[in-house]
Structure 1
Amino acid sequence: MIKLEDILNKITDLKTIEEKLAYIDLNVEGKIVFSTSFGFEDQVISHAIFSQKLQNIETFTLDTGRVFPETYTTWNKTELKYQQKIKPYYPPTTELENFIEENGINPFYDSVELRKQCCFIRKVIPLNRALEGASVWITGLRAEQSNNRNDMHEIEWDESKKLFKFNPLINFTKEDCFAYLKENRVPYNPLHDKGFISIGCAPCTRAIQEGEDFRAGRWWWEDETKKECGLHAK
């Protein structure tokens, strides 16, 4: 039997994102998942999956309860266009209620620790449920997104989650992604046209100014070295 690692390594020989995802869908045994937050990167991958009607890749999203209305609109338009359902995962009710009762509705502005605790409840716990039993996790990570992602590879072993991560857009530029969306008439979040690049929860995301880093609009009140939410090790 061919090892999963050997199967995934063959992906690098394929040229298009459609070919790579179709290869995974056909050859990988076990649970394959794709996490979308409906940003422009994820919309590229969604199109490549849904337009080919790949049935073995489960597409899910983490609904934190604090996302922009425009994100919900993009979610709805995507399901309608492709006639595919995207599975939602939500934060644990009791933990979230206790956190807000103890710390208030917007405690993430007060300290990095509280912000990370909020991210953990709203994102990490649901993500862990979504990844349970998965052998491959498909992500929209790109090297261009931040300095601590520019040494990532297309295929990586995630030791903390004990699965392989497939990052099909790792070498894509922002321009590559939007050219793909335009060519294939893929719906995308209208906030991107207003200066929002990396779009997360509404209280923690702002538009960026000319010359600012891609991730400058996320948790803008924090030090650059702390701008991760725990979903990815890098």
Structure 2
Amino acid sequence: MTLTEQQILDWNDALQQATPRALLEQALARFENIAISFSGAEDVVLIDLATRINPNVRVFTLDTGRLHAETYQFLDRVRERYQIDIEVMFPQAEAVQQLVTEKGLFSFYRDTHHECCGIRKVEPLKRKLATLDAWITGQRKDQSPTRNDIPLVQRDEALAAPGRQLVKFNPLANWSSTRVWDYIRGNDVPYNSLHEQGFVSVGCQPCTRPVLPNQHEREGRWWWEEATQKECGLHAVNLREA
């Protein structure tokens, strides 16, 4: 199904008062070839909501090879809790090997994180998205300066395969972290045990650390870089539209 830019804008406007569940119902009804991108707490809220609509909802995740052990355990808990298949996308081994051979295992501290993320995250994501017509993410507007204006539904021109349209849904865009965690606690939703150790936003092990009281959640990600650069490329459309 191909939608014009105006149709997507109108759809986004019409959804402003919709609940995340209502948005998911529309997304899953309109697109058969759609999947949820799973990595963190927000994404499991989406899985919890979506499986109440369609128990066979498709879910995928990215394994960069640098994740915490707790994250892998979290992945298994979600799989078992919702009895769903989670497709795991891996980076191209040759590209990882070349990067490590030429620059070592921690070049991102010196060269910024974008090259490493491009190989370990963006390329596998693009490979997956090339097979989809639409995808669903757990982005929130208050997560970082680059996400202040994310819509509920948008055309993702940054990651779409050549000649294809890709529609992106952000059902939790208007939710706060507090609201996400109220839902998690109220519905006994699984979460990463790292959250109990001061981690708020969880990514790869070398690039994630706990945050202190009153620090913004994204200060624990790529802390050596400026706040407006804290996108790994998975949501490159944010930078394009900023």
Normalized against structure 2, the TM-score is what? 0.87
Structure 2 CA distance, aligned partners of 1:146 and 1:130? 25
Shift of 1:186: 0.7
The 1:165–1:184 alpha-carbon spacing in structure 2 relative to 1, beyond 3 Å, is same
Name whichever of 192-201 and 88-97 sits farther off. Answer: 192-201
Report the equivalent of 1:207.
Answer: 210
Shift of 1:157: 1.5
Structure 1 CA distance, aligned partners of 2:221 and 2:2? 41
Match of 1:209, SS?
A: coil
The 1:225–1:24 alpha-carbon spacing in structure 2 relative to 1, beyond 3 Å, is closer
The 1:208–1:32 alpha-carbon spacing in structure 2 relative to 1, beyond 3 Å, is same
Q: 2:96–2:119: 8 Å Cα contact kept in structure 1?
A: yes
Q: Which runs of 5+ in 2 are unaligned?
A: none
* Alignment deviations for residues 155-214 of structure 1 (CA, whole Å, 9 cap, x no partner): 112222241211000010111101111111111011112221110000000011122222
Match of 1:51, SS?
A: helix
Structure 1 CA distance, aligned partners of 2:75 and 2:54? 18
Name whichever of 173-182 and 44-53 sits farther off. Answer: 44-53
**Equivalences, count:** 229
RMSD of aligned C-alpha atoms?
A: 2.1
AA at the equivalent of 1:49: A
Q: 2:141–2:149: 8 Å Cα contact kept in structure 1?
A: yes
Report the equivalent of 1:43.
Answer: 44
Calculate percent identity across the aligned residue pairs.
40
Report the equivalent of 2:125.
Answer: 127
Aligned match of 2:28 in 16, 25, 28? 25
Structure 1 CA distance, aligned partners of 2:60 and 2:69? 18
* Alignment deviations for residues 52-71 of structure 1 (CA, whole Å, 9 cap, x no partner): 3343x421000001111111
Structure 2 CA distance, aligned partners of 1:146 and 1:10? 22
1:72 equivalent in alignment to 2:72: yes
Report the equivalent of 2:200.
Answer: 197
Shift of 1:9: 4.5
Normalized against structure 1, the TM-score is what? 0.90
Match of 1:219, SS?
A: coil
Shift of 1:84: 0.7
Q: Which runs of 5+ in 1 are unaligned?
A: none
Q: 1:89–1:126: 8 Å Cα contact kept in structure 2?
A: yes
Match of 1:110, SS?
A: helix
The 1:96–1:79 alpha-carbon spacing in structure 2 relative to 1, beyond 3 Å, is same
AA at the equivalent of 2:100: I
